[in-house]
Chains A and B, each alone.
Chain A
């Protein structure tokens, strides 16, 4: 009877099997990041991208959403807190990916991709927790049916929801943050979802920028990546701040193409 009150016991062999069969890597589309992470975003893990504004975080989110939806990995859920989700940009990316297709096939492909991305707008932490609880409930029911299930959950950006509640000495803010972290990791582990969240940076000691959300947040994500972009260039740097099995400090570069897609010039990407 007490078995109902805790998670099942596992051993090392079962953990390895679960990791090999269920926890796949989802490519972000940017080769630099994918190679750095050993394949891409890992299902079952909470990945955080930290960077100052306009360092490419939203672009990575949109690109991975489009790519994952396009390549039939599963459904993508995009939780948008700062109106950064842009259907036009998704359409542009799909256009680039299907540059060799004819007009009608392109339309169909775009429709399919768009129907696999679900976008929710939330503007405070309570709405986010609500959305996550509903998702968990839905997934529990869905285990029985065989619908295409969600494999990527993006929250852009979680720090804009948490920073307003974290100020001051009260503990309610940290409680909400830790609860959100726990439910995200639970969703990731139990339902084989890769969770990607973005965070911004704040000024620290000596004027050096540091990631927002403080000390308690540091032990919540599995993987923490830092993005920087030099002004005026479209080359971004990504470095590992924390990873479950790779050394910190490893870096890579990737390029963000900001080509507009109204002109199809037949030269491919």
Chain B
């Protein structure tokens, strides 16, 4: 019980102190290509787009950024050096693609260090010693990074829920083993089981005390589990979502869409390798965002409990091959 009510009224810290404390404890993250959107741990980002629009590629690049260390054997990688938790609901994850991106980043860092080294020395000949050194260090760093990538596959919503419940204890075990904590929680395709869950009849299981199984209750349970996780272990949640209903939907949906696409909309080319062509359109309304007359009308199909849980929504659109 408070013995000093006056002290309680005066508060613990000023707003300025609190802000500086939070900004150091939970700094902003800028993940390319979403580098114009400052993200913090505790945010829930939904990346939505039609099928070939590089959503999973964004996740993979963010994952590589996270598992790479800040610095290793004198070479600066600029990564976070933390673990990533990847929930593969679509079951389309390809580890070869992840290792391809990781190797490419490592090579790039080595090459740029090599170039600066030779520039400083003023020599134009590159001998083989740094390159062999590079290949020897490669494997160890590569495996180190891959160990920080935690993965689980789910074939239905129940497996997903069970995995979410078990995630905390598993991540604790891994943290103790590797010495770093989980920073990202990635869900590849949150809408993967939409059609199956929608077909669940809302009938009571085993008496009226248990909750009915339905699309809404499953989504609520998922949101609840993730909230619990966020309280115990703050992570940044990135979820992709495939837009199922095509463009050009009916009029009442347009009003529903208008308020939630109020964020910077990024467009991408659909090539998996070239990441050069990124342009952000700034804040705009979904109805007026068509440049060549295309409409960004995609119907929101996730239940409202998920929709209100999301803090940032990013829309991707392929600009054509």
Contact = CB atoms under 8 A, between A and B. Distances in A.
Contact of A6 (B50, B91, B163): B163
Given A6-B162, A12-B145, A244-B97, A185 B152 contact: no
A249 B189 contact: no
Contacts of B51: 215, 218-219, 242
A35 to B, nearest CB: 17
A9 B151 contact: yes
Contacts of B147: 11-13
Contact of B196 (A19, A179, A218): A179
B271 interface: yes
B155 A216 contact: no
A47 to B, nearest CB: 12
Interface in A8-52: 8-13, 15-16, 18-19, 45
Contact of B96 (A171, A172, A185, A244): A244
A182 B148 CA distance: 27
B154 A245 contact: no
B51 to A, nearest CB: 3
Contact of B166 (A2, A11, A179, A219): A2
B321 A171 contact: no
Task: Give the size range of B's interface with the partner.
Answer: 35 or more
Contact of A245 (B96, B163, B195, B321): B96
Interface in B116-153: 143, 145-153
A173 to B, nearest CB: 9
B272 interface: yes
A182 B199 contact: no
> Size class of A's contact patch?
35 or more
Nearest to B97: A245
A253 interface: no
B272 A248 contact: yes
Contacts of B224: none
B92 interface: yes
A7 B163 contact: yes
B211 interface: no
Contacts of B192: 178
Nearest to B91: A185
A5 B146 contact: no
Given A219-B90, A219-B242, A7 B153 contact: yes
A186 B155 contact: yes
Nearest to B246: A215
A8 B50 CA distance: 30
Contacts of A18: 95
A222 B97 CA distance: 12
A6 B166 contact: yes
A18 to B, nearest CB: 8
B195 A7 contact: no
Given A9-B170, A219-B189, A248-B272, A178 B196 contact: yes
A248 B321 contact: yes
Interface string B186-203: 000100110110110000
Given A175-B199, A218-B51, A248 B270 contact: yes
B149 A11 contact: yes
B6 interface: no
A247 interface: yes
A18 B95 CA distance: 10
A246 interface: yes
A43 to B, nearest CB: 12
Nearest to A186: B155
Contacts of B199: 171-172, 175
B292 interface: no
B30 interface: no
A186 B97 CA distance: 20
Contacts of B97: 244-245
Interface string A158-200: 0000000000000110110111001001100100000000000
A3 interface: yes
A248 B243 contact: no
A216 B195 contact: yes
B118 to A, nearest CB: 32
Contact of A215 (B145, B156, B196, B243): B243
Contact of A189 (B145, B153, B166): B153
Most buried by B among A5, A178, A245: A245
A226 B49 CA distance: 22
Nearest to B245: A215
Interface string A125-140: 0000000000000000
Nearest to B170: A9
Most chain A CB atoms below 10 A, which of B67, B145, B153, B165: B153
A6 B152 contact: yes
Interface of B: 50-52, 67, 90-92, 94-100, 143, 145-156, 158-160, 162-163, 165-166, 170, 174, 189, 192-193, 195-196, 198-199, 242-246, 270-273, 321
28 contacts: A3-B166, A5-B158, A6-B160, A6-B162, A6-B166, A7-B152, A7-B163, A10-B150, A11-B150, A12-B99, A12-B147, A16-B99, A178-B192, A178-B195, A182-B196, A189-B153, A215-B243, A215-B245, A218-B50, A218-B52, A219-B51, A222-B92, A241-B52, A242-B52, A243-B272, A245-B94, A245-B100, A248-B272
Given A11-B146, A249-B271, 16 more contacts: A2-B165, A9-B151, A10-B152, A12-B67, A12-B98, A12-B151, A15-B149, A16-B95, A171-B195, A178-B193, A215-B50, A241-B52, A243-B272, A245-B97, A245-B100, A248-B271
